[in-house]
Amino acid sequence: MLDTIFFTAQIVLFSIGAYQLVMAFFGWFRRKNKKQHAPQKSFAVLVAAHNEEQVIGALLENLKKLDYPKELYDVMVICDNCTDGTADIVRSHGVYAFERHNPSLRGKGYAIEWMLKELWKLPKHYDGVVMLDADNLVNPDYLTHMNNDLCNGSKVIQAYLDTKNPNDSWITSAYAVTYWYCNRLWQLPRYNLKLANYLGGTGMCFDNQLLKEMGWGATSLVEDLEFTMRCVQRGVYPTFNYEAKVYDEKPLTFKASAKQRLRWMQGHFDVARRYFFPLLWQGIKEAKWAKIDTAVYAFNVYNVLISSIVTCIVWVDNLMPGEPHFRSLFNMAPALFGAVALLTFLLFPLALLIEKAPARVWASLITFPVYLVSWWPITVYAFFTQNNKTWSHTEHTRVIRLEEVQSKQAS
């Protein structure tokens, strides 16, 4: 019985891996450019900030320089439980500072839910709501792309997420490789196939009327994933805008990275537990592949958990003297299994090649496997601590401006 369960788990994991490998091929091309529209949509640009006095100024300067009519967008900063000078800096830039003080309900999801209620109390109406993090930077044409997508019928849009500081450390380089991979070989294939894309926590744009109808209702540790699930359940499929770029700052050290990723995985377990089976069953009943695909994405956290355990068992079983105690796909079909495993890993340098990543980042592929394997213990620990809903803040202290990011990308 144990051997049957173990072997079945391998087949499921192999099938999911092969499925994503096939999906990745649909990221080789980009659909034709969408219809362009003159600026007409108005935007409330919401910036989530908690003790971000060191970096908030650079983003506010960046947002003032967008290539979009100034009368069509307002920037509003959610100063969430701040104990530093974030709010004062925001006001000094002539930007709205909305101060929230609720230490019992901490986290970005709660802050957004509160801010939306404040937004809808204002006399001014906005067509779209953009959500950014305080450490972000955006390309000048960001709102132009969001305007086009809203005019073309999209209700929920995710921008292309890039890394602001890919060369700061081996960890930031690993994040950068992952972003390029996800943008090109996860997000773009689903956009090309008209499936649902997933939200990435920042660089998001929403139709204001949709938000009013749905409410936010995403207060888990991974509010972006939770809202994605809620949208897809309703038949609203988030879309991906490859041209709209947002740059996100990543933690410099492995310790800070592990803390951030632990929070992500704890939240992912929570969301998967609540949405996987209902969304999968809904997709099967309605014959909607987009819903099944999104359910599989929700299951990904269990995929990482089970694959880490199964891989360790296979390694130990094969190293022990005598015949292996468990059947393994690797021993039964080593060529097939090895080919899929190799191709899966080669997707990462392939993404760097297609996305024309800076030459300096290629060297990080040497240490990249360490980053990938480090997800295993983090995910296992997250599984046993998934009921921990404590939100942890990633501190940002380095000031980087858009000109510097673009200069390094060109080099």
Task: Give the separation between CA 295 and CA 281, rounded to whole angstroms.
Answer: 9
At 299 the pLDDT is 94
Q: Which range has the worst mean pLDDT, 9-13, 109-113, 242-246?
A: 9-13
Q: At what angle do helices 254-286 and 289-298 cross, to 10 degrees?
A: 150
Query: Which of residues 306 and 6 earns the better pLDDT score?
Result: 306
Task: Give the separation between CA 303 and CA 265, rounded to whole angstroms.
Answer: 12
Bridge partners for 74 per DSSP? 44
Q: Which range has the worst mean pLDDT, 87-96, 188-197, 356-365?
A: 356-365
At 397 the pLDDT is 64
Q: Is the pLDDT of residue 409 over 70?
A: no
Output the CA–CA distances (angstroms, integers) from residue 25 to 31, 129, 259, in the order listed: 14, 33, 33
Task: Give the separation between CA 374 and CA 369, rounded to whole angstroms.
Answer: 8
Tokens matching residue 318: 């094969």
Confidence class of residue 325 from pLDDT cuts 50, 70 and 90?
Answer: confident
The pLDDT tens digits of the residues spanning 228-247 come to 999 999 999 999 999 999 99
Average pLDDT over all residues of the chain: 91
pTM for this model (two decimals) = 0.92
Percent pLDDT > 70 in the chain is 96
At 69 the pLDDT is 97
At 369 the pLDDT is 93
The CATH superfamily holding the domain 43-170+193-251 is: Spore Coat Polysaccharide Biosynthesis Protein SpsA; Chain A (3.90.550.10)
Q: Is the pLDDT of residue 193 over 90?
A: yes
Taking the alpha carbons of 205, 207, 210, 212 in that order, is the dihedral positive or negative? positive
Tokens matching residue 123: 């006399």
State phi, psi for 155 to the nearest 5 degrees.
-105, -30
At 394 the pLDDT is 72
At 388 the pLDDT is 80
Which strand (E) or helix (H) includes residue 273?
helix 254-286
Q: Is the pLDDT of residue 225 over 90?
A: yes
Measured at the CA of 302, the angle between CA 296 and CA 308, to 5 degrees, comes to: 125
Question: Mean pLDDT across the stretch 121-147?
Answer: 96
Q: Which range has the worst mean pLDDT, 131-135, 239-243, 272-276, 318-322?
A: 318-322
Q: Which among 116, 52, 117, 126 is positioned nearest to 87, based on CA atoms?
A: 52
Percent pLDDT > 90 in the chain is 75
Number of residues that make up the chain: 411
Q: Which among 119, 50, 58 is positioned nearest to 86, based on CA atoms?
A: 50
Q: Is the pLDDT of residue 119 over 80?
A: yes
Q: Which range has the worst mean pLDDT, 173-182, 235-244, 354-363?
A: 354-363
Measured at the CA of 386, the angle between CA 383 and CA 388, to 5 degrees, comes to: 145
The pLDDT tens digits of the residues spanning 30-89 come to 887 779 999 999 999 999 999 999 999 999 999 999 999 999 999 999 999 999 999 999
Confidence class of residue 378 from pLDDT cuts 50, 70 and 90?
Answer: very high
Q: Are 241 and 139 a contacting pair, CB within 8 Å? A: no
